[in-house]
Structure formats: structure tokens, C-alpha cells
């Protein structure tokens, strides 16, 4: 048993993959000194500057070079510091990495992992606190992954490196210091499957679906709801595309109610896609299907305003109680 942080889990995943596979290379700003959150600590010292490469401050150049390297036989891991900065490389991500395999009949593959830390980052304001996962879920050709726990940040990062396709890999900026006890670390840790959700808590009255840091709020809300006599099943989606439709549908068939919770802005968010998919499915049609996300406002720098853009477990509890108390659908 070992106590592992979210950042350490990712660092260990990269260390193991680099040890086992010479084609894994790392690229990004300041990763030689360990990265902003320590997620690359010690890797340049162990594997050298040719495999752990500090880059200029140009996201378009970083991703563009990585796409070319991937097409010629390497498996680059690209560090974009925060998701907000990935917008500077949107053409390389959307029009080059995502489309190459399709446009050239599968002759080339782009096995690049693009790490884009998401979410509200305390005191960092609107340009450093975005959750834009729905943008990338919308793009054909991209796999989108969002680990919520240290263990998942280890096993899903390794799975992403082995997928053979471009992966948008979303780690929450305020999860890096979170810790988890892991049995058999790291040698006996089982591999993960992309596209498989996990039930983090069993329940019978309502299904809560979340990913990344929103999972924490949902689990806290489930504890409060349980004390009120409401049994909430909590599902961690883990992979946003492909997402585990079967696991979510089976849960909603059992509970009859769904609330999808995400830190991203609610308008046009992934929650809408999940609700729409279930609403169109015969086994879940007629169930109570709802979503909950952030308001359509930029994240403020002001300490008095920033909490208004955050998810809180109390708000989830309030919304679930409204769903539970509403008349059943007919």
C-alpha cells in the first residue's frame, strides 16, 4: 500500500512507459525542471534532453512538431500547461492530429497525448480556469480522457499512450496534490480500458454522472443525500469520448433519475449530449434526465465572485432534492 498523489501518479506512468518504450518522448514548456505541478519531476535527469524536451513558448509549434514526430514513429506526450493555452494550437489539434488517419486512409497514425489541465484554478481568473472538454469531444478523430483520482491518472495516462490515436488528456488543476492509497503500487496496478466508466458509489434513487473534480462534489453530495434518506449512485465517466453509454443507461434504468454534473459551462456542455442520448434510447425514455454545470460567465478573479462559477456539493444536493420531489414523468 502506498499513498500516491495525482501528480506523482502521472509522473510514474510516464517513467514506466519511457523505461519500457524508447519511442515515448515528452515535449513542453518548463518540463525539464519538473513542470508547473511537478508532474514531470526527475524525468529529464533520468532520460535526457532528447527525450524530455523543453520547448519555446509556442503551443502551435509544440503540437505541430509532435504531430510530425508521431507520424514518423514516435509517441509524443505534449504538455500545454493549462487547457486555456491549447487554444493557440487549435488548428494543429483539430485539423492535423484529429483528421490525418481519416484523410490518408489509415496510412498514418498520430499517437500523441496532449495534456491540458482543466478547471477553475483558485485566483487565476478567466484565462486560466476554463473547462472546454465539449469542444474536443465534438471533434471526430480525438479521444478525450478525464481522470478524477490519482490511480486513474496513472492507468489512464498509460492507456492513452498505447491507444494509437490522438488523445486530449484532461487533468484538473486543483487535483494535483490530492492523494489516494494504492495497493501494489506501481508494479501490481492493473491496466485500464479507455471508454469504461466506474461506479464509485452504489445507489437506487438517482444517478449522478461526473468526471474530473466534479466527481469529488458528487461524492460529497451523495453523503449528504444519504443522511437525508436519498440513495445516490455516482458514476465516474473517466473517458469522455468514447463515453460508456451502456454503464450509464443501466444505472438510469435502475434509479429512474439522472443528473449529469460538470464544472464546464452548462450551455452546450457534454451533459446535454449525455441527456439527449439517453432521452432517445428506448430503455431510458421517459426517465427524469437532468444536467448541471457552471453558469455562462467567465471565471472572475475576485474572491467574492469566483465561487459563483464553481460547483458546490450543496448545490448538487439541492438540485437532486428538486428532482426527487418533482412529480414522476408519464
What is the torsional sign of CA 158, 161, 165, 168?
positive
Query: What pLDDT, in 10s, does the model give residues 150-167?
Result: 999 999 999 999 999 999
- Tell the residue number behind the cell numbers 504531430, with chain if given: 67
Mean pLDDT of the chain: 95
pLDDT interval class at 328 (50, 70, 90): low
Q: How many angstroms separate the CA atoms of 288 and 272, rounded? A: 14
Catalytic residues: 128
Task: Tell me the domain boundaries of the chain.
Answer: 2-182, 198-325
pLDDT in tens, 67-88: 999 999 999 999 999 999 999 9
2-182 and 198-325 agree in CATH topology: yes
pLDDT grade for 330, boundaries at 50, 70 and 90: very low
Fold type of domain 198-325: Rossmann fold (3.40.50)
Q: What are phi and psi of 164, to 5 degrees?
A: 85, -5
Question: Is the dihedral angle over the CA atoms 186, 190, 196, 199 positive or is it negative?
Answer: negative
Q: Does the 2-182 domain belong in CATH 3.10.20.30?
A: no
Count Cβ neighbours within 10 Å for each residue of 148-186 and write b for 16 or more, e otherwise.
Answer: bbbbbbbbbbbbbbebebbbbbbbbbbbbebebebeebb
Residue with cell 498505447: 162
Q: What is the pTM of this model?
A: 0.95
DSSP letter string, 205-250: SEEEEE-TTHHHHHHHHHHHHHHTT--EEEEE--EEES--HHHHHH
Amino acid at each position: 500500500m502506498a499513498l500516491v498523489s495525482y501528480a506523482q501518479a502521472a509522473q510514474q506512468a510516464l517513467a514506466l512507459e519511457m523505461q519500457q518504450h524508447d519511442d515515448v518522448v515528452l515535449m513542453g514548456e518548463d518540463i525539464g525542471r519538473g513542470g508547473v505541478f511537478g508532474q514531470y519531476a526527475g524525468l529529464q535527469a533520468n532520460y535526457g534532453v532528447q527525450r524530455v524536451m523543453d520547448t519555446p513558448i509556442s503551443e502551435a509549434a509544440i503540437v505541430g512538431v509532435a504531430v510530425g514526430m508521431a507520424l514518423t514513429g514516435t509517441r509524443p506526450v505534449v504538455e500545454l500547461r493549462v487547457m486555456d493555452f491549447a487554444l493557440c494550437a487549435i488548428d494543429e489539434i483539430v485539423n492535423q492530429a484529429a483528421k490525418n488517419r481519416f484523410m490518408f486512409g489509415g496510412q498514418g497514425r498520430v499517437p500523441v497525448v496532449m495534456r491540458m489541465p482543466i478547471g477553475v484554478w483558485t485566483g487565476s481568473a478567466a484565462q486560466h480556469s476554463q473547462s472546454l472538454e465539449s469542444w474536443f469531444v465534438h471533434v471526430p478523430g480525438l479521444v478525450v480522457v478525464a481522470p478524477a483520482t490519482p490511480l486513474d491518472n496513472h492507468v489512464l495516462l498509460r492507456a492513452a499512450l498505447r491507444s494509437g490515436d490522438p488523445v486530449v488528456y484532461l487533468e484538473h488543476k486543483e487535483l494535483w496534490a490530492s492523494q489516494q492509497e494504492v495497493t501494489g503500487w506501481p508494479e501490481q496496478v492493473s491496466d485500464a480500458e479507455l471508454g469504461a466508466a466506474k461506479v464509485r458509489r452504489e445507489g437506487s434513487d438517482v444517478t449522478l454522472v461526473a468526471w474530473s473534480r466534479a466527481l469529488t462534489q458528487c461524492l460529497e453530495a451523495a453523503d449528504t443525500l444519504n443522511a437525508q434518506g436519498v440513495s445516490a449512485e455516482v458514476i465516474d465517466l473517466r473517458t469522455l469520448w468514447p463515453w460508456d453509454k451502456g454503464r450509464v443507461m443501466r444505472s438510469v434504468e435502475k434509479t429512474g433519475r439522472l443528473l449529469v454534473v460538470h464544472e464546464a459551462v452548462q450551455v452546450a456542455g457534454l451533459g446535454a449530449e449525455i441527456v439527449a442520448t439517453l432521452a432517445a434510447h428506448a430503455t431510458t425514455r421517459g426517465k427524469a434526465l437532468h444536467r448541471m454545470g457552471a453558469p455562462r460567465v467567465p471565471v472572475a478573479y475576485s474572491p467574492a465572485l469566483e465561487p459563483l462559477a464553481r460547483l458546490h456539493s450543496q448545490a448538487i444536493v439541492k438540485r437532486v432534492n428538486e428532482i426527487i420531489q418533482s412529480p414522476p414523468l408519464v
